[in-house]
């Protein structure tokens, strides 16, 4: 039981990362029917920016108040990655908007390789390690299992970000416009919506969330590498499909479920640890066979 609880807690933490990254895939897909294969790399850039900012602001002692420093680090990294995301859309996707479906995919892969190489050139090919002990080493015991401060913080921050996004999408004028554009570009235009601006907005939001995930992964695992975008990105992509790609609550649910499945399977199956990564893809295959629209994928309402 303790073991189960511990695996579940770890799974929820990893699930929060997947969910944050999955949102970026799902929002872009929802609006452009494009898989932004460079999204995982934007998240990786966020992780590296977080690393640099942690060193520059916390380790250097520049900002003594930890909470203030972390807030600034999150905001700066999220802002910079958001701008990178919007720039990526302008340069790599917008010119190909009318070029069919293959060209943007190739462009996305190119952008992915580009981002990886930029980070490799700046930081070098070896992995980096977030300094230890940024957050105090506090943990709590729940029924024999442990929750660390980093895990709790990850959960709280992710839920705040996701809740904020959900509120924005569901309750505000711009959020409603995002949903309208996702349904029908031309009709959205007829409403007076500047579709290009909405697309830019989506390319700001998704990468910002990914960057937050990137910093938290750095704080949680410590090690980051310029190729990490692919690994986490693919998992998060599976999470988006699990929840129903294009569906925002689906990405959140899919992320947490995948994190929990994966960690439990790794803990309980024989040689589970070795199979951990395969489990995500097993889930992907099962979903594609059993329920291609994903768990929350909407059955499209037929128009008469």
Partner 1 sequence: MTVALLQIENVHTYYGHVHALKGINLEVEEGEIVTLIGANGAGKTTTLRTISGLIRPREGCVKFNGQDINGLPAHRIVKLGISHAPEGRQIFSTLTVMENLNMGAYSLGGDREAIEENRRRVFDLFPRLEERKNQLGGTLSGGEQQMLTIGRALMARPRILMLDEPSLGLAPMLVKAIFETIREINKRGVTILLVEQNARAALKLAHRGYVLETGRVVLSGTAGELLRDERVRKAYLGEK
CB of 67 to partner 1, least distance (A): 34
Q: Which is nearer to partner 1, 2 or 298 (CB)?
A: 298
Distances from the Cα of 224 to the Cαs of 181, 189, 217, 259, 285, in angstroms?
Answer: 36, 42, 8, 19, 28
d(CA 235, CA 18): 7
CB of 159 to partner 1, least distance (A): 24
Give the N- to C-terminal CA distance of the chain in Å, as an integer. 53
CA 287 from centroid of its chain's CA atoms: 20
Q: Which is nearer to partner 1, 126 or 299 (CB)?
A: 299
Which residues sit at the interface with partner 1, rule CB under 8 A? 173, 176-177, 179-180, 183-184, 186-195, 298, 300-304
Q: Which is nearer to partner 1, 150 or 252 (CB)?
A: 252
CB of 93 to partner 1, least distance (A): 19
**Contact of 193 with 180, CB cutoff 8 Å:** yes
Q: Which is nearer to partner 1, 132 or 303 (CB)?
A: 303
CB of 275 to partner 1, least distance (A): 38
d(CA 133, CA 219): 9
Q: How many CB atoms lie within 10 A of CB 94?
A: 16
CA-based Rg of the chain, rounded to a whole angstrom? 19
What DSSP designation does 133 have? Answer: T
Q: Which is nearer to partner 1, 91 or 183 (CB)?
A: 183
């Amino acid at each position: 039981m303790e073991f189960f609880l511990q695996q579940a807690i770890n799974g929820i933490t990893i699930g929060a990362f997947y969910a944050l990254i999955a949102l970026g895939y799902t929002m872009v897909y929802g609006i452009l029917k494009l898989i932004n294969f460079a999204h995982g790399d934007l998240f990786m850039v966020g992780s590296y920016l977080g690393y640099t900012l942690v060193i520059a602001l916390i380790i250097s002692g520049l900002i003594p108040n930890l909470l203030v420093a972390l807030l600034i680090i999150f905001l700066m990294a999220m802002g910079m990655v958001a701008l990178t995301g919007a720039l990526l859309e302008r340069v790599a996707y917008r010119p190909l908007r009318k070029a069919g479906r293959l060209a943007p995919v190739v462009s996305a892969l190119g952008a992915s390789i580009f981002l990886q190489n930029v980070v490799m050139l700046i930081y070098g090919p070896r992995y980096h390690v977030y300094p230890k002990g940024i957050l105090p080493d506090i943990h709590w015991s729940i029924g024999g299992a442990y929750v660390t401060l980093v895990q709790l913080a990850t959960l709280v921050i992710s839920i705040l970000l996701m809740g904020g996004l959900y509120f924005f999408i569901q309750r505000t004028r711009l959020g409603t416009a995002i949903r309208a554009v996702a349904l029908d570009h031309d009709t959205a235009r007829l409403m007076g919506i500047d579709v290009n601006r909405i697309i830019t907005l989506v390319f700001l939001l998704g990468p910002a969330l990914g960057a937050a995930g990137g910093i938290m992964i750095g704080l949680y695992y410590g090690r980051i590498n310029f190729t990490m975008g692919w690994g986490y990105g693919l998992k998060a992509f599976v999470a988006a499909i699990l929840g129903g790609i294009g569906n925002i609550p689906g990405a959140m649910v899919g992320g947490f479920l995948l994190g929990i499945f994966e960690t439990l399977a790794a803990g309980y199956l024989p040689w589970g640890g070795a199979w951990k990564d395969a489990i995500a893809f097993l889930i992907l295959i099962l979903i594609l066979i059993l329920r291609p629209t994903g768990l929350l994928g909407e059955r499209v309402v037929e128009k008469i």
